[in-house]
A and B are shown apart, each in its own frame.
Chain A
């Protein structure tokens, strides 16, 4: 088990200021077996006039807040303390059933009406950013997803292939870049890889969902880790009937374990942007994000370091 301190700061600067804003923040890490949220706070400056929290359709915690005074910049900082224990999440017994379900079995089982199946079936459907199946996607998926093959293995191989075939290039894509373009260029960032994988799994008729969260990065050997160099991260999750959801990180070619912190689930990025809002302003705005995720030190020390 590892206990992490997580710090995520987003700063917006408005060229001519904003008179008013309404925002949604999906920043609070989830609680589930294997991930426990020990402490959480959301600091917003200027102080919001109102703030409330609700659990959304996908079970994520969303904070709604608004600022009603004129402001030049908006700063949102979320701080969390999280205990992560992958061993508690998945047992050996689980692993055996997980590996035995074939793609063909899964397709058959998905016709059922058990509650978890009914719930999972919506993740087979198209979603705002993954709104069609192209022949390229389907072809790419079919290489791994053969009816008699273990679904877990197939998804694992898909993750590997994306890791090998796609280049991590930031700046090439943005939120609105269509999937076909990512597929064609074979480059992008973690979001794109997650969404390509989801599109592939869905093209077979299987449920896949988007996971937003964080990953701990380790400094080069012998160097101290710099503050704020981590980033928001995203990966995908596949539903294996009679087992449950299994996460895959195609950007790092690994099964997310104790270094991955889960914040939210959705059909694709559209459902879980960390921060979105409607502002009333003219002119441009600039955004700055920094994230820091590291094992918790003695209490208090971490805070001090950051303030220096």
Chain B
């Protein structure tokens, strides 16, 4: 044991100077940590390291990401979770919890007051400038009151342990606090990868907290409506915490929507769904205050809903948290909190705060100026994200400039005492290392009180000596354990929405944006897969020719195949380029490679893959974890492939083999993870429509023109093989390939799933399941067109499609049929889009004032 301890602690004591979670001032281990440390030593540092990488892997695999705006590494930076938890004993936690509840209640009362009577200002408890100079004070929200017991529903407090051993308040987050979802995922990952770390330790689980959270959303509905419709409003996939938005939407079972999914009409908020509009009662928002309503708030916002504030005024919708609550994220309030607490509750603050001086008052400002270097200076609002100035590091010139800045708008600045917060052990390179930590705790309104999550999200400074802790700037996180005396139940993995059935249960209620994305996902995945298969087939034929040289007609057969790539992918002129085609046909690989990897080329495989990525990513709240895993591996294979220098036929084929398997896995997972009533129907329609369209293009490229027998044989073989139908053909016909049988199988068969007739009849069935919004239930345009297509193909005979014009050697009736079907698919697709998708015209300001503030 001794040696193990030595190894794991090797560096822990180096430059140890301040307060540490694990160590007493005599550098002995605190009793609180003993059980955990025993477990760690039992597991051993090698095993810990391997578990750590397993956690890293799991989080990446599960798609737990944290986006950083403008990150050169692109979206989706993986979320980091350190294997060593942060711990606190229940006894201490109970006091902290009381402190958090008290603070939530005070801020709740402040919020109610400053948008209501403003007694705090009238009675001189807070200087008016602390509120009026804060950008978060939204005058348009004046006098808006909610019927719920608490105005402030969700409150996050960042805590850190101060030199006196108590937990101190560092920040309040009140607009749309993030982190709950990450905290939950941290706990899940930990329990899964390293359950033995919990041995003999009773970690309190947040199950009840999340039940309360769900209850909060349900009871927030105006007029205590039964079964209210709740949605989660996100700014979209580019937001830093988008993972969490989709995670919570999934976890709680409420649809994830963007601003343009919602609309205000008749004094209510509605979600645009497949079957018209559905009234929304509660919005859990992750969009910042100012962006919520372009009519009354920021005019340049496209993330909110125009007219929303008026609906809130009319009390026809509840927003959690209320718009305007950002004014509480205000360090200018800190110096007055003690008085506010006394004023409202006649109590003392339970949780200590960092000593702060608001520069809007002369005496305090002078105090700050006298010894500026010992302070940390902040603005009262976060116009610039977490812009904190550590004055000790400033030059004389910079200090002078800072004073000037403060004087030019003193109301905007707060100076805070510099505090050395505690460090906690972090597992780095197989050893423990002390790092600064910041604990985000969560509190939500529950009846007359607040319910606090046991634990929360602990964030760790990116480097050993960093003062600064934030996810926006990178860094890692920890699971936060509150350790109790009693045995704890397992963390429940199900959605917390058991008591009230989810309201969104029918295809009618699918948001039209989601429906549209599903439709296009289906189209793009089909296009990507079919393109991959087709090009792979051509590559295979090229290899065959190289090695076997079977037929005389080889070069002619291949030429037809090369040109068919151009036709099927619509990458004209391609192999039809009049000037270059001869040259290209001799050395076809260059053009084929371009059709595969050129992202800028319309119709290329690369472009289909990109569109596939884009349309799927916006749906990730509907995904299962397996889907994410496969999605991620497709991405990795593609990235690796793009970096290759020489593309041999073999390398290309191998690439397609890998991609095709994964695409098929992805499609299968899509079908099992998303319910038809969640909108999967639209995905199927898109998929079938694209497959059917591409089948037509294949026929057009390969069999409309007749060829001599040998060549035709070869082409039919290629067609069947690209269609993955060669085996089926052999099984069904047990004969030499003939055009009659191929057309019977691929065009006219009623039961074979890859035949065009089958595909069209399935499309017809699926389309008829879409909501019908017509009066008298008259057939929709979508139905009419697809039915026309179905009757066309059902009424054509084998003789018809085989009929060949002697002069032109063209199968005229087949050609005409294909042309007509292709047109009908196009109008069907347009009709679906017109009938079901969201086509609001662009949002504009009546008067464009170009004001950004």
Contact = CB atoms under 8 A, between A and B. Distances in A.
A271 B139 contact: yes
Interface string A101-133: 000000000000101001101100110110111
Given A56-B139, A125-B132, A282-B841, A66 B264 contact: yes
B129 interface: yes
- Taking chain B's interface residues, is the majority helix, strand, or loop, or is none over half, making it mixed? loop
A64 B310 contact: yes
Contact of A49 (B143, B266, B296): B266
B366 to A, nearest CB: 15
Contacts of A54: 313
B128 interface: yes
B693 interface: no
B846 A12 contact: yes
Interface in B254-293: 263-267
Given A20-B840, A278-B306, A280-B840, A126 B409 contact: yes
A276 interface: yes
A160 interface: no
A189 interface: no
B849 interface: yes
Contacts of A285: 846
Interface stretch (A21-29, A36-44, A231-239): A21-29
A50 interface: yes
Contacts of B265: 49, 66, 68
A18 interface: yes
B122 A118 contact: yes
Given A52-B314, A66-B264, A121-B129, 4 more contacts: A24-B296, A56-B139, A278-B844, A280-B842
B841 A280 contact: yes
B74 interface: no
Interface in B110-164: 121-122, 124, 128-129, 132-133, 139-140, 142-143
9 contacts: A19-B840, A50-B267, A56-B139, A66-B307, A126-B133, A270-B851, A277-B847, A281-B841, A287-B847
A50 to B, nearest CB: 6
Contact of B846 (A118, A129, A275): A275
Contact of B306 (A12, A22, A55, A270): A22
Given A278-B843, A280-B842, A280-B844, A176 B295 contact: no
Contacts of B850: 175-176
B853 interface: yes
Contacts of B408: 132-133
A287 to B, nearest CB: 8
Given A54-B313, A131-B853, A275-B846, A122 B266 contact: no
B846 A175 contact: no
A46 to B, nearest CB: 15
Contacts of A20: 263, 840-841
Contacts of A175: 847, 849-851
Q: When A and B form their complex, which 7 residue pairs have the shortest distance between CB atoms, in order from nearest?
A: A277-B846, A278-B306, A57-B139, A57-B142, A22-B307, A176-B850, A122-B132
A299 B851 CA distance: 43
A133 B267 CA distance: 41
B184 to A, nearest CB: 37
A172 interface: no
A75 interface: no
Contacts of B139: 56-58, 271
A279 interface: yes
Contacts of B842: 280-282
A273 interface: yes
Interface of B: 121-122, 124, 128-129, 132-133, 139-140, 142-143, 263-267, 294-296, 306-307, 310, 313-314, 408-409, 411, 840-847, 849-851, 853
B397 to A, nearest CB: 20
Interface of A: 12, 18-24, 49-50, 52, 54-58, 64, 66, 68, 113, 115, 118-119, 121-122, 125-126, 128-129, 131-133, 175-176, 270-271, 273, 275-282, 285, 287
A277 B139 CA distance: 17
A52 B142 contact: no
Nearest to A64: B310
B307 A278 contact: yes
Contacts of A280: 840-844
B385 to A, nearest CB: 20
A120 B556 CA distance: 89
Contacts of B307: 22, 64, 66, 278
A129 B851 contact: yes
Contacts of B296: 24
B132 A128 contact: no
Given A19-B841, A50-B266, A50-B267, A275 B851 contact: no
Nearest to A20: B840
A122 B411 CA distance: 11
A276 B841 contact: no
Contacts of B121: 118
Nearest to A278: B306
A68 B266 CA distance: 9
Contacts of A270: 849, 851, 853
Contacts of A119: 128
A64 B313 CA distance: 11
Given A115-B122, A278-B307, A128 B853 contact: yes
A291 to B, nearest CB: 17
B499 to A, nearest CB: 35
Given A56-B142, A280-B840, A22 B847 contact: no
A276 B845 CA distance: 7
Contacts of B840: 19-20, 280
B264 A279 contact: no
A227 B376 CA distance: 62
Nearest to B307: A22
Listed residue (A66, A115, A271) with the most chain B CB atoms within 10 angstroms of its CB = A66
Contacts of A275: 846-847
A273 B294 CA distance: 15
A278 B846 contact: yes
Contacts of A279: 843-846
B384 to A, nearest CB: 15
A23 B264 contact: no
Contacts of A281: 841-842, 844
Contacts of A22: 264, 295, 306-307, 310
Listed residue (B139, B264, B843, B847) with the most chain A CB atoms within 10 angstroms of its CB = B847
Given A57-B140, A115-B122, A277 B132 contact: no
Contacts of A24: 295-296
Nearest to B266: A50
B517 to A, nearest CB: 21
B843 A52 contact: no
Nearest to A271: B139
Contact of B133 (A125, A133, A282): A125
A12 B132 CA distance: 35
